Amino acid sequence: MILTSTLLKITPRCLRKKLEQRPELLKILDNIGWLFVDQILRMGVGLLVGVWVARYLGPSQYGLLSYAMALVGLFVAFSTLGLQSIMVRDFVNHPENSHITLGSGFLLRLAGGFLTFVLVLAIISILKPEDTLSRAIVAILGFIQILKAGEVVKYWFESQVQSRFVVWIENGVFLISAVFKVGMILLHAPLLYFVWISFFEAFIVAVLYFVLYKWKVGRITFWKPTLTRSKTLLKDSWPLILSGFAVAIYMRIDQIMIGEMLGNKAVGIYSVAVQISEIWYFIPMAIVASVFPILVKTKGEIEKIYYAQLQSLYDLMIWLSIIIGLFMTFFSFWIINFFYGKEYIEAVRVLKILAWAGVNVALGAVWSKWILIENKQKISLLGHIIGAVLNIFFNFVLIKLHGIKGAAIATILSYWLSAFIVYALYKPSKSYGMFIKSFNIKRIHAFKKKSSKE
């Protein structure tokens, strides 16, 4: 725990003693720390390079790239197959079968990546039969999904709360990729070159995942895929596959519909607002991913503590997202104008709306893990299907009336309406009770009093 031990040295003595007595908490904090280092580095460098790329390409070409990424992103659920949390859960519960789970998960990811590649190629050929550049970009981005089968190694390290090794690999390759992108800008390279850089980034990361596994764990040849294990993984994950597809629809369909209804330039402007609004989403994801293995263990031991931990997570997520939403709302003009310039200034009014989508995303990060632990994936599936249908409907109506601002409104409406519809259907759920309690300001005062006593 290199990162945590370094931070403990500068932590006040009274707090340091309490933390040193809780090794499990220190392990979680260390994992969260590495995930934060990963995402903060990506956020900082990625924002600077991404802004430079957006300015260099301009709204139209940047819009084309965003459209292609959204189209591929729409079908990523068929590539990932909802396996990440399922495999992490099984690594924790059944470590003796890790080699079977890894082998089976890897082959499933390969098959899913190939399916995604074929799907996106077929769809872009129908949507833009005469546009060779669009088809080339989608083909490259689609093939990347096959390379990402190596992420099963990442899942294993996540289950061991050892994300630092993955962070080293991903950040190292990411920084090299960023340097090449800057080089392409200076050389005035065409759009396709930037897409190829993303391809080689994914390829190198995949190779290094396997090198890491061999170095820290053992040979990949020890993986033993079985038909029985593959069927079990798919049986557990199929609701998550459909949920992931539904999530992708109401997170990415707006960009595709804008592209078809308003053109690439509108997609470029809208995508800038989306990227800024999503830039902090790594925070709830990192926190929940690091706590997830502990929640799985606690659920099987002391249920009362398990629900207390869940409630604390909900409380943290709601107030974190509200603070960030307020910041983005008040500083949206300055953010867009400073980073992207006047060409993208129309994105300000979109960002002010999308800033509040983060509340639902943060709460959903906790809720999705509760779904997995309780093995109630069908609830998640229903909520996401409702959200996807609502989003398509609202986008179709509101884009016609209000342009890209209408797409942002459609996103917020579909998020919250789907959440409350599912809550109405599954009101007895303890998790939804916690969801509602998180909005109670009195809980903050109670938490402060408890902290002061300790």
- pLDDT band for 152, please (50, 70, 90 cuts): confident
Q: DSSP class of residue 221?
A: G
Name which residue leads in pLDDT, 123 or 295: 123
pLDDT of residue 85: 78
Q: Which helix (H) or strand (E) holds 365?
A: helix 357-374
Least-confidence region, from 274-278, 383-387, 397-401, 402-406: 383-387
Residue 454's pLDDT band, with cuts at 50, 70 and 90, is very low
Q: Is the CB of residue 228 less than 8 Å from the CB of residue 171?
A: no
Does residue 219 surpass a pLDDT of 90?
Answer: no
| Span 232-247, average pLDDT | 83
CA distance 140 to 117: 9
Nearest to 386 by CA among 351, 424, 358: 424
Residue type, 323: I
311-324: pLDDT as tens digits: 888 888 888 889 99
Tell me whether residue 12 is exposed, middle or buried, using C-beta atoms within 10 angstroms of its C-beta: 0 to 12, 13 to 18, 19 or more.
exposed
Instruction: Please check the confidence at residue 2 and state whether its pLDDT lies above 70.
Output: no
Q: Which pLDDT value is given to residue 430?
A: 55
Between 6 and 110, where is the model more confident?
A: 110
Residue 431 has pLDDT above 60, yes or no: no
- Is the confidence at residue 428, as pLDDT, over 60? no
pLDDT of residue 444: 47
Yes or no: say if 381 and 242 are a contact pair by the CB < 8 Å rule: yes
How many Cα atoms sit within 13 Å of 202 on the Cβ side? 19
Between 21 and 161, residue with greater pLDDT: 161
447 vs 451: CA distance, rounded Å: 6
pLDDT at 196 over 60: yes
pLDDT digits (tens, 9 = 90+) for 349-372: 999 999 998 888 888 888 777 777
The 3-state secondary structure of 198-244 reads: HHHHHHHHHHHHHHHHHHHCCCHHHCCCCHHHHHHHHHHHHHHHHHH
* pTM summary value: 0.76
Rounded to whole angstroms, how far apart are CA atoms 111 and 204? 20
Position 298 scores a pLDDT of 77
pLDDT at 220: 81
Tell me if 70 sits within 8 A of 124, measured CB to CB.
no
More confident residue, 25 or 57: 57
- CA-to-CA distance for 221 and 225, rounded, in angstroms? 10
276: nearest Cα among 201, 379, 351? 351
At 439, the pLDDT band (50, 70, 90 cuts) reads low
Contacts with 29 (C-beta within 8 Å, 6 or more apart), sequence order: 4, 19
Amino acid in the structure at residue 440? N
- Greater model confidence, 145 or 13: 145
Q: What is the pLDDT of residues 374-396, one digit of tens each?
A: 777 677 778 778 888 999 999 99
Contacts 24+ apart (CB under 8 A), 302-308: 307/430, 307/434
- Percentage above 70 pLDDT, the chain: 82
In angstroms and rounded to an integer, the radius of gyration of the C-alpha atoms of the chain is: 22
For range 41-61, the mean pLDDT: 84
Residue 432: pLDDT over 90 = no
- To the nearest whole number, what is the mean pLDDT of the chain? 82
- Flag whether pLDDT at 269 surpasses 90: yes
Q: What is the pLDDT of residue 28?
A: 57
Residue 141, both tokens: 């981005």
